[in-house]
Amino acid sequence: AIWMTQSPSLLSASTGDRVTISCRMSQGISSYLAWYQQKPGKAPELLIYAASTLQSGVPSRFSGSGSGTDFTLTISCLQSEDFATYYCQQYYSFPWTFGQGTKVEIK
């Protein structure tokens, strides 16, 4: 199985900040990566797929980059509704696996 290291596990930030979340793979996965946002008590929601393609309806302040083993999710200007937990997921090989999650909290 492919191991994923997501960092940081907790990120304290303020509204308006630019935040970056990292996801590192134990082996190269090309661009077979998606990012999800999950709010408490809710199902995850797709933000980005194919490492950098923004899902329809997702605000443009979200962006994804990377290929191979290192990936990044960036929120350019954090809004109040963005405080949530973020997960990366690889689709390169089975079993599909998720990162441990990054909780973005209010500073």
Partner 1 sequence: QVQLQESGPGLVKPSETLSLTCTVSGGSISSYYWSWIRQPPGKGLEWIGYIYYSGSTNYNPSLKSRVTISVDTSKNQFSLKLSSVTAADTAVYYCARTSWVLSGPRYYYMDVWGKGTTVTVSS
List contacts with partner 1 (CB under 8 A): 1, 30-32, 34, 36, 42-46, 49-50, 53, 55, 87, 89, 91, 94-101
Minimal distance, residue 15 CB to partner 1, in Å: 26
Q: Are 79 and 66 in contact (CB under 8 A)?
A: no
Nearest partner of 73 among 84, 63, 83, 81, judged by Cα = 63
Which of helix, strand or coil describes residue 82?
Answer: helix
Between 17 and 45, whose beta carbon lies closer to partner 1? 45
Minimal distance, residue 80 CB to partner 1, in Å: 23
What dihedral do alpha carbons 47, 50, 51, 54 form, nearest 10°? -40
Between 2 and 13, whose beta carbon lies closer to partner 1? 2
